[in-house]
Amino acid sequence: MIVSFDEVRRAAFRALDAGGAAPGIDDECGWACAWLEACGYPGLKMLGEALDETPREERRPSFTVDPIGIDLRNVSCVFMAPTLVDLAKARGRIFLRNVRHGLYLLPFSVRADTGIGCPVDPAFAIGGEREKNPYAEKLALAAETGITVEDVAWAKVYAYSRAILVPESEESRMKGAGAGLRDND
Helix then strand then coil, in percent of the chain rounded to 5, is 50, 10, 40
Reference 116, options 96, 90, 134, 101; nearest CA is: 96
pLDDT band of residue 152 (cuts 50, 70, 90) is very high
Task: Work out the average pLDDT over 142-170.
Answer: 90
Q: Are strands 96-97 and 69-71 parallel, antiparallel or unpaired?
A: parallel
The per-residue pLDDT for 117 is 43
pTM of the model: 0.82
pLDDT tens for 79-119 read 999 999 888 888 877 889 999 999 999 999 888 875 554 44
pLDDT digits (tens, 9 = 90+) for 43-54: 999 999 999 999
Continuous segment of H or E residues that includes residue 41: none
Q: How far apart are CA 140 and CA 143, in angstroms?
A: 5
**Structural element, H or E, at residue 128:** none
Sequence spans of domains, the chain: 2-122+151-174
Contact 96, 69 (CB under 8 A): yes
